[in-house]
Amino acid sequence: MLAENKLTVLKDLVKQYSRDEIIWTKGYLAGILAQTEITPTLEIPTTVVIKPTIVYGTETGNSKKLASQLQALLKKNKIQSKAVDAFQYPIEKLENEAFLIVIMSTQGEGDPPQNAIKFFDNLSNSSVNLSKTQFAVLGLGDSSYPLFCRAGEAIDEQLKRLGAQPAVAFQKADVDYVQTAELWFNELLAAIQHSGKTVIPQKKNIESTATAKKTYTGIISHKVVLNDMGSNKTTYHIEIATEEELSYEPGDAIGFYPKNNKDEIAEIILFFDENCEKERLFDKNIRGLSEKSLDTFSKLFGIEITEEKADLLDILKKYTKPEVVSFDEVLTLLHPIAPRLYSISSALEAHEGEVHVTVNLNAFQVDGIIKTGLCSQFLADLEKDTKIEFYIHKNQNFKLPEDDKDIILIGPGTGIAPFRSFLAHRDATGAEGKNWLFFGEQHFVSDFYYQTEIQEWLSTGVLTQLDTAFSRDQKEKIYVQDRIRQKAGEFNEWLENGASIYICGQKNPMSSDVEQTIIEVISTERNISIEEAKQVLDDLETTGKYQKDVY
């Protein structure tokens, strides 16, 4: 826009111009304007010929899900890649990889997940030259645990040892990994697109978006055994009340730091100087020591410990501890007790100021001696009004869809826990989506957890459909997957109408068997191949419509 005085001068000049002079002036001014403009330089896209291989190791499916998301991002940017389960990856192909991406979760004492143990061992024992290979490693874990993302970190170290070149820096991702992974993916994409050029990995990791875990203090306000007389199991429903403002959603978990049993510690102390500080053992992991930990004790004791897993007390009883080995030396080999997570079985909308948990007392035999799980026994021993500390573990990968969407819940045993939360939430909020529950246990009479509430939800319409499988109530055992197979047509119809599937409970064999059954149902009902049905389920998982919380 011209200033008033300049506009007046221009008008006076134009009045004096002929038509041809005005046209010439217009062209002249356009030429001057063109000279002052910056002509953008069009970057001619180059085809990326590199084809990355994505290897994932997972216990709960998160690494697999991220591998699929990364593959989709690369495809969108016209980069071909392949994703493969670590268990199926042929290690002999490693030296032929131009660009290797590893997404690895961490289990137990810094170990890789079960499906990646072979890959990890082969990599550790390899001497192949990877100087022509670029790589990137994303580690998934939980910062509450002592050896956070150690498995991913170890793979990063092994690849460097073999001469592979890091394209981007090793990245740790906490439980709330979504944003961290997205940022890392974008950085990785840029590195792949510039592959062949000099890429300097970032020295500083992308900051994790996980927030610090708040520790709450509550009291045991109610505790009851859910099983009736004659049951083979002992399953507790425990309610914890707190005056602090709670923040959790259906699908989240509660974390506890259990303490060691004082009687067990007293027995351990008998093998040492009675004046040693036994209090230092209460927070140390003395149960189910891994093969890796037992190897360190073998070296310390100067003996060969043959067990793959054992408690410290059992080792002290079975093997002779050299007199020179001190309490402090043993203590240095023990890791802190890792927190234990349990699915929350309450909903804030229905249970204000409370958090509920469903705990099966884990009992098993070792050499004819009955033992119990550390945390399940710790919680079972707590009396009413006892104080307890806990934290909330946010689980963004096990969440309800919108209120008007249908859901299929498959939760045998204590796998019912989060679905009690789901249904209580939907009941309290008036959600309109339909809900179908599959529940299973051993006996109807003694093991139908939350029966009264479930039947109430069924009668009020909150629960649209209920199918139960009590495996020991008849000659031939019946499981939840058998009920799914019996309702194959309706099950597939729900899926085709947009329902989401949720599975909670033991990974093996339950969730594996259920997943295989769902694939078979999709294949049969849609008249497609098993491979095509697997792809349907994979697509549901990628879009968040198939979620698992298995252990």
The share of the chain scoring above pLDDT 90, in percent, equals 72
Sequence-separated (6 or more) residues with CB below 8 Å from residue 310: 288, 289, 294
The reported pLDDT for the residue numbered 425 is 98
* Residue, of 413 and 29, whose pLDDT is higher: 413
* Residue, of 156 and 195, whose pLDDT is higher: 156
- Model pLDDT for residues 237-256, shown as the tens digit of each residue: 999 999 999 999 999 999 99
What are the helix (H) ranges across 233-308?
A: 262-269, 291-301
- Model pLDDT for residues 152-189, shown as the tens digit of each residue: 999 999 999 999 999 999 999 988 888 899 999 999 99
The reported pLDDT for the residue numbered 42 is 38
The share of the chain scoring above pLDDT 70, in percent, equals 88
3-state secondary structure of 295: helix
- Decide the pairing of beta strands 215-225 and 235-241: antiparallel
Q: Where are the domains positioned within the chain? A: 53-194, 215-259+338-393, 262-333, 407-550
- Find the mean pLDDT for residues 88-106: 93
In one-letter notation, the amino acid at residue 109 is E
* Residue, of 21 and 421, whose pLDDT is higher: 421
* Residue, of 251 and 6, whose pLDDT is higher: 251
Q: Over 80: is that where the pLDDT of 205 sits?
A: no
The reported pLDDT for the residue numbered 434 is 98
Distance CA 72, CA 538 (A): 13
Architecture field, domain 407-550:
3-Layer(aba) Sandwich (3.40)
* Confidence band for 206, pLDDT divided at 50, 70 and 90: low
The reported pLDDT for the residue numbered 276 is 83
Tell me 511's DSSP state. I
DSSP track, 380-446: HHPPTT-EEEEEEE--TTS----TTS-EEEE--GGGGHHHHHHHHHHHHHT--S-EEEEEEES-HHH
In the block, residue with structure tokens 């055994």: 225
- Model pLDDT for residues 109-135, shown as the tens digit of each residue: 788 988 899 999 999 999 999 999 999
DSSP track, 350-375: TSTTEEEEEEE--EEEETTEEEE-HH
For 53-194, give the CATH class.
alpha beta
* Residue, of 437 and 4, whose pLDDT is higher: 437
* Confidence band for 200, pLDDT divided at 50, 70 and 90: very low
Distance CA 122, CA 117 (A): 9
User: Using DSSP, how many helices (H) and how many strands (E) does the chain show?
Assistant: 18, 19
For 74-83, 194-203, 440-449, which range has the lowest pLDDT when averaged over its residues?
194-203
- Find the mean pLDDT for residues 367-390: 94
The reported pLDDT for the residue numbered 220 is 98
* Residue, of 344 and 278, whose pLDDT is higher: 344
Sequence-separated (6 or more) residues with CB below 8 Å from residue 362: 372, 373, 376, 377
* Confidence band for 99, pLDDT divided at 50, 70 and 90: very high
Please tell me if the domain spanning 215-259+338-393 has the same topology as the one spanning 407-550.
Answer: no
- Model pLDDT for residues 32-73, shown as the tens digit of each residue: 444 444 344 334 344 557 899 999 998 878 899 899 999 999
pTM above 0.75, yes or no: yes
Q: Which fold has domain 215-259+338-393?
A: Elongation Factor Tu (Ef-tu); domain 3 (2.40.30)
Least Cα distance to 486 among 448, 525, 457 occurs for: 525
State the average pLDDT for the chain. Answer: 88
- Among 308-317, 393-402, 482-491, the range with the most confident prediction by mean pLDDT is 482-491
Distance CA 208, CA 70 (A): 18
The reported pLDDT for the residue numbered 542 is 84
* Confidence band for 203, pLDDT divided at 50, 70 and 90: very low
The reported pLDDT for the residue numbered 323 is 87
